[in-house]
Amino acid sequence: MHPILVKLLNKRNVKKEELTKEELSDFDRWDKILSGGEVTVEKVGEFCRAQIGAIEAQWKDLNNDTKKNERLIIAHTIYSTILKTLTAPEIERESLEEYLTNLIH
């Protein structure tokens, strides 16, 4: 698994085996993207758009509990912010990097 994903799991005191199917699917996809080949702005944008679509599809489930919906809102906000910064000036890009780094630390 990619080191940044390991750090995220460690920060949250979660073992990979404890992840739900959805979470494991996300982590596997993230690991594939982070580990495979050259990462381009286009690939990151495609990934973010796919994640936003998956999150919005999960919102349609009226049986979601409050905690899951809160997690989905946070994830949606993060992916939307990443997409916005792909075309933003360098200052906004640095701000996003700091924000995401703070999530890990």
Instruction: Tell me the domain boundaries of the chain.
Output: 1-37, 38-105
Residue 14: its pLDDT value, please? 87
| pLDDT for position 8 | 86
Pick the more confident residue, 70 or 99.
70
Average pLDDT over residues 45-53: 93
Q: Above pLDDT 90, what percent of the chain?
A: 33
How confident is the model over 78-105, as a mean pLDDT?
A: 82
Confidence at residue 70, expressed as pLDDT on a 0 to 100 scale: 95
Cβ proximity of 64 and 84 under 8 Å:
no
Per-residue pLDDT at 80 exceeds 90? yes
